[in-house]
């Protein structure tokens, strides 16, 4: 069986900075990816619109130029969101929108994940001038939807977790205060978040990663498979079932691919574990495996349609750019994922870290 699909878009990924960037971009090109939304949690963060990179921050202009020089010129689309920090102003939003450089902004829960210490609490942003300007200019708000600063027991327990709290306590207020704001609920992991997105207006969509469609907390804990450790953390079977139901609903237009592929050259140390699963080179294969586990027959016309919407069509439609007219192919055949050697050191792709074979292979 062979799948021929329009090239797809990864609407949430991490290409980092420095000499390894080119390896990460190449891994995306190698898996039929036609474009990406490249996260701004670099060191330093992408916190300005234009001008040269400075010691305290990249600009969208300078980081995009760096990415293009590292191979991203081959992409049909490259979106770099502005990291919302204490320095972000409504003037920057208006100027950025007018120049065409600004298409999205990223909300990070302060200290909630990798390089998120520059983030502003959601409560400080709701009702403020920055969100009003984004609403007015149609700038997309990309949200890492987890309540920050929770104690360990509140961070995750059987009834509630940081994500469910965020989607029940913060998101309704955000929507009420900014009814026109275009929002992507990124890398959602829970039934609560999936149901929130389904019930929200059309201009609220979501990305889902391969790992959250494939795995649960049990997979992570059994053997402490730290390559599966990412944030938000994988959740429970009922949550995974809700995510699978969301992406496999006929005609759905709100859910799309965003891998959150997040390379770390040092993953686990004696003092803890960096959050992030690296799925460069293998994301469409993993998504295909997840759709099959969800009961979709990718050999059928309906099954292929569902997969194509999620991977190649819904994301471009949501962000307002054309789907790719180029194609890529995958065939149903076992393949192994291998260590990615980069100038910064080797990075372990998720399937290798999980000790699984892929059941799909890219056709080159």
First to last CA, the chain: 15
b or e along 102-111 (b: 16 or more beta carbons within 10 Å of the residue's beta carbon)?
Answer: bbbbbbbbbe
- Segment contacting Zn ion (CB under 5 A): 77-85, 155-163, 255-263, 307-315? 255-263
Q: How many residues bind to Zn ion according to rule CB under 5 A?
A: 1
The answer, yes or no, to whether the previous bond of 239 is cis (omega within 30 of 0) is: no
Which of 260, 298, 349, 352 is close enough to bind Zn ion by CB under 5 A? 260
b or e along 319-336 (b: 16 or more beta carbons within 10 Å of the residue's beta carbon)?
Answer: beeebbeeebebeeeebe
Please state the closest distance from residue 31 (CB atom) to Zn ion, in A: 17
Nearer to Zn ion among residue 163 and residue 260 (C-beta): 260
230 binds, among Zn ion, ligand DOR, none (CB under 5 to 8 A by kind): ligand DOR
DSSP state of 226: G
Q: CB neighbours (10 Å) of residue 93? A: 25
**Binding of residue 144 to ligand DOR (CB under 6 A):** yes
Nearer to Zn ion among residue 230 and residue 242 (C-beta): 230
**In which element (H, E) is residue 67 found?**
helix 60-69
Which of 13, 113, 161, 192 is close enough to bind ligand DOR by CB under 6 A? 113
Please state the closest distance from residue 3 (CB atom) to Zn ion, in A: 26
163 binds, among Zn ion, ligand DOR, none (CB under 5 to 8 A by kind): none
Taking the C-alpha atoms of 67, 318, 164 and 174 in order, what is their torsion angle to the nearest 10 degrees? 100
Q: Which backbone phi and psi does 280 adopt, to 5 degrees? A: -60, 135
Instruction: Give how far Cα 84 sits from Cα of 39, 40, 95, Å.
Output: 12, 9, 15
What does the alpha-carbon distance between residue 79 and residue 75 come to, in Å, rounded to a whole number? 10
Nearer to ligand DOR among residue 111 and residue 173 (C-beta): 111
Instruction: Sort 278 into a burial class: Cβ within 10 Å, 0-12 / 13-18 / 19+.
Output: buried
Nearer to Zn ion among residue 6 and residue 109 (C-beta): 109
**Binding of residue 188 to ligand DOR (CB under 6 A):** no
Count, in order, helices (H) and strands (E) of the chain. 16, 16
78 binds, among Zn ion, ligand DOR, none (CB under 5 to 8 A by kind): none
**Binding of residue 163 to Zn ion (CB under 5 A):** no
Q: Which one is catalytic: 56, 260, 297, 305?
A: 260
* Region class of 223: left (phi > 0), else alpha (psi between -120 and 50), else beta: left
Nearer to ligand DOR among residue 205 and residue 276 (C-beta): 276
Please state the closest distance from residue 15 (CB atom) to ligand DOR, in A: 10
DSSP-assigned letters across all residues of 146-188: ---S--HHHHB-SS-BHHHHIIIIIHHHHHHH-TT--EEETT-
Which of 114, 252, 265, 335 is close enough to bind ligand DOR by CB under 6 A? 114
Nearer to ligand DOR among residue 5 and residue 185 (C-beta): 185
352 binds, among Zn ion, ligand DOR, none (CB under 5 to 8 A by kind): none
157 in catalytic set: no
How many CA atoms lie within 13 Å of 41's alpha carbon, on the beta-carbon side?
A: 26
Q: Which residues pair with 207 in a beta bridge?
A: 256
Which of 275, 283, 313, 340 is close enough to bind ligand DOR by CB under 6 A? 275
Angle (CA) 123 126 127, round 5°: 135
275 binds, among ligand DOR, Zn ion, none (CB under 5 to 8 A by kind): ligand DOR
In the stretch 20-59, what mask flags binding to ligand DOR with x, by CB under 6 A?
Answer: ---------------------x------------------
Residues between 226 and 245 that touch ligand DOR (CB under 6 A):
230-231
Q: Annotated active-site positions, please?
A: 260
Give residues in contact with ligand DOR (CB under 6 A): 14, 41, 113-114, 144, 230-231, 260, 262, 275-276
Give residues in contact with Zn ion (CB under 5 A): 260
């Amino acid at each position: 069986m062979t799948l021929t699909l329009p090239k797809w878009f990864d609407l949430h990924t991490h290409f980092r900075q420095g000499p390894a960037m080119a390896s990460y971009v190449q891994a995306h090109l190698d898996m039929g990816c036609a474009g990406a939304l490249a996260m701004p949690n670099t060191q330093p963060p992408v916190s300005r619109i234009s001008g040269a990179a400075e010691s305290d921050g990249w600009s969208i202009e300078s980081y995009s130029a760096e990415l293009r020089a590292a191979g991203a010129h081959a992409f049909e689309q490259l979106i770099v969101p502005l990291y919302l920090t204490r320095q972000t102003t409504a003037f920057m939003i208006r100027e950025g929108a007018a120049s065409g450089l600004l298409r999205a902004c990223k909300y990070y829960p302060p200290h909630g994940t990798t390089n998120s210490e520059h983030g502003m609490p959601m409560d400080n942003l709701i009702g403020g001038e920055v969100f009003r300007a984004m609403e007015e200019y149609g700038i997309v708000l990309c949200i890492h939807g987890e309540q920050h600063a929770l104690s360990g027991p509140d961070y995750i327990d059987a009834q509630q977790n940081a994500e469910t709290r965020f989607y029940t306590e913060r998101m309704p207020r955000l929507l009420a205060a900014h009814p026109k704001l275009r929002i992507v609920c990124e890398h959602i992991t829970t039934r609560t978040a999936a149901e929130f997105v389904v019930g929200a207006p059309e201009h609220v969509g979501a990305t889902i990663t391969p790992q959250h469609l494939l795995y649960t907390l049990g997979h992570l804990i059994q053997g402490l498979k730290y390559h599966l450790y990412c944030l938000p953390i994988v959740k429970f079977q009922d949550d995974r079932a809700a995510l699978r139901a969301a992406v496999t609903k006929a005609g759905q237009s709100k859910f799309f691919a965003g891998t959150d592929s997040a390379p770390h050259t040092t993953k686990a140390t004696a003092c803890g574990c960096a959050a992030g699963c690296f799925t460069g080179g293998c994301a469409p294969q993993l998504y295909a495996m997840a759709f099959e586990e969800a009961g979709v027959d990718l050999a059928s016309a309906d099954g292929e349609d569902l997969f194509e919407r999620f991977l190649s069509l819904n994301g471009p439609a949501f962000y307002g750019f054309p789907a790719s007219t180029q194609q890529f192919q995958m065939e149903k055949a076992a393949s192994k994922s291998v260590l990615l050697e980069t100038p910064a050191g080797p990075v372990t792709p998720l399937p290798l870290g999980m000790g699984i074979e892929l059941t799909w292979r890219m056709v080159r």
